[in-house]
Structure formats: C-alpha cells, structure tokens
Amino acid sequence: MGDSPVVSVIMATYNHAKYLRRSIGSVLAQTYPNWELIIWDDGSTDNTREIIESYKDDRIYYHYDKNHGVSYARNQAIKFSGGKYLAILDSDDEWLDEKLAAQVEVMDAYPRVNILFSDFMNIDLDTNENQLGFDQCQNGIHLLDVEKIGDHLFFIKGGMPESLTVSNFVLPSTVMITRRVFEDYSFLENLRNSADFVLWWQMCLNSIDFAYFTNIYTIRYKPHGSLSSPNILTYENKIRGLDYCLQETLARDRNDLIPFLNHGYLRAWQNLIPLYGDNGDRKRMFKSFFQSVRYGGNLSSIRLFFLTIENLKLYGK
C-alpha cells in the first residue's frame, strides 16, 4: 500500500449495493485527504463488486470473502489496514465532509483520547422520522461524568459502562479509534449484533479513555426491516452479549456494575415476551417472563405477560 495513511476507514458490507455510492461518496468528499478505505465484502450476491470497482481512486481497497457476519468483516478489514487511526463506516451510513478532519485534529491534540465518537442524525426509513442520536439516548448520556476540553468536545471521566447499559450511544459509524487499542481488542465474531456494545464494555473495564463531540458528523440510515429493528434475533444476541460482559465484569471484580447489567437483562427478556408470543412460541414466551422476573421485572413483566396472553387468545395463536 506504500506509505501508510493517517486514517484507515473500515467498511464492512453485505448486499448494500443500493447504498454504497452514498457511503463511499461521503468518504471521497472528506476535506481531510490522508485516508485509505478498506472495504470488506462479506459475501454479497448483488452488484456490490461492480459498484466498488467502478471507483478508480487508489486509496480504495476491496476484499471479498464468503459470509461470516459484520464482526468478522470488520476484524479482517482492520488486519489489512495501516492507518494510525481507525474510523468505522457502515455501508448504509454516510459522513459529513468535516468528519475525519475534526476527529484527527482532536486525536492529535489529545493523546489521552483513545476513542472519539460523536452525535449523529438517525433517519428511520420506515417512519421517515429524523432524530438526533444523543436525544434518543439521553437517559444513558446523562449518567456520564464529563470534562469539557474544547468546543462541543467532552472527555469522559466516569460512568461510561453504567451508561451503556441504559442506551448504547456509541454508534460505530461515528468513532475514531487509535490503532494501538485494537492490538488488544476485536469484535466478537459469533455475535450478529451487540458486538460493538461488548467491545465498548471491555474497553471501559480496562480504562480505555473515551471522548465525544456533540457535533453531528454522521447520518445513520435505518433501512426498511433492518436488523436494528426489534426482533427475536436482536434481543437473543443482546443477552449473549450481556453474558460476555458479565464474565468480563466478574473477572475484573467489578461487582458494582452487575446491577447495571441486570437492568440490561431485564429489558431484553421483557422485550422477548411479546416477540415470542407473536411468533407462537409459548415455551420461550414463558421462559422470557420468568427470566424477566428473576431480574426484577415483577409488576411490569406480569402486565406484559398477561397482555401477550390476551393477544394470543384474540388472534387464536
């Protein structure tokens, strides 16, 4: 690849041909030029390759492998990258033009910052609603102990793991991470979602320093029927992710964090009650109810359980 760029942009993609020109175009439009774009095609069956190979910019590198999942694709792309900083961009999101320039300036000026993320615009293509990501996650962000270190720039002094269990406000497409951090960490490849939450949790336990902009540098598009929509697989993966976090937490003797993880378990199991019910899976519906009670659901879980039972009777499931 010749001289290493300062920033390696990591893009995992799978059958996102209809979004790729928007995402790649937002990288090409960056005011900061010293980047490489590593695109890892995770087994796409659409015209992804054709679109990517239509770009003649020698800073763009394309790799193809069979489908393994987004975590594997990101990890592989990182292995092929050479930048001092890593910036993740999902292939259905886009950046504003100043994103890399603003983040590189901060990362160079504040060596103690290992991960820098930002607010983002969340666009739901099912509802056509636009909302700021931090507004949607304000209950979690308000738990942070922060120090203002610049215009719209805050260093997180504490409260990071606790806040993540309330809402995961660190969107991968907003982050810039120092390469040295990824010498010890990677995305868990057996999780289809929640791998980013587990990664942030592991880093928090090991005192990796986070900072954030309140500026918006990323637009996140939630496609029709996306995996981020509430579904059984989403919450089953969240529970598996919480299991990994619990193991790490116990290994670090951070019992003070277990109540926060328990709150995450509670919400996941409660959300599974109606989802399993709608799917006609009564056995797992009952299991979800009892698990939610175990984690403190009590009256709220009981109400949800009986509401689901009534819906099953109404629709004859």
pLDDT given for residue 182 in this prediction: 87
**Which tens digits make up the pLDDT trace of 60-75?**
999 999 999 999 999 9
* Poorest-pLDDT segment among 55-64, 124-133, 172-181: 124-133
Determine the residue type at 306: F
pLDDT given for residue 3 in this prediction: 74
Tell me how far apart the alpha carbons of residues 59 and 266 are, in angstroms, rounded to a whole number: 45
182 secondary structure, DSSP code: G
272 secondary structure, DSSP code: H
**Which tens digits make up the pLDDT trace of 150-201?**
999 999 999 999 999 999 999 999 999 999 998 889 999 998 889 999 999 9
Structure tokens at 61: 């590198």
Q: Which residue has the higher pLDDT, 26 or 129?
A: 26
Residue 166: name the closest of 134, 193, 188 by CA: 134
Asked if the model's pLDDT at residue 313 lies above 90, the reply is no
Tell me how far apart the alpha carbons of residues 171 and 188 are, in angstroms, rounded to a whole number: 16
Exposed (0-12), middle (13-18) or buried (19+): which is 262, by Cβ within 10 Å?
Answer: middle
Percent of the chain with pLDDT over 70: 95
Asked if the model's pLDDT at residue 2 lies above 60, the reply is no
Mean pLDDT over 238-259 rounds to: 96
pLDDT class of 53 with cuts at 50, 70, 90: very high
pLDDT given for residue 1 in this prediction: 45
Exposed (0-12), middle (13-18) or buried (19+): which is 169, by Cβ within 10 Å?
Answer: buried
C-alpha separations of 50 from 28, 44, 67, 241 in Å = 18, 11, 18, 35
Hey, which residues does 177 pair with through a beta bridge? 86, 115
pLDDT class of 307 with cuts at 50, 70, 90: confident
Mean pLDDT over 265-281 rounds to: 92
Residues 6+ apart with CB under 8 A from 6: 34, 35, 83, 84, 85, 104
pLDDT given for residue 285 in this prediction: 92
* Poorest-pLDDT segment among 1-10, 98-107, 200-209: 1-10
pLDDT class of 227 with cuts at 50, 70, 90: very low
Residue 35: name the closest of 12, 3, 13, 62 by CA: 3
pLDDT class of 127 with cuts at 50, 70, 90: confident
pLDDT given for residue 225 in this prediction: 55
The pairing of strands 153-158 and 145-150 is: antiparallel
pLDDT given for residue 315 in this prediction: 52
In the chain the domains, ranked by start, together with CATH numbers, are: 7-222 (3.90.550.10), 232-315 (no CATH)
pLDDT given for residue 223 in this prediction: 67
DSSP H or E stretch at residue 9: strand 7-13
Residue 291 near residue 283 (C-beta atoms within 8 A) = no
Residue 74 near residue 41 (C-beta atoms within 8 A) = no
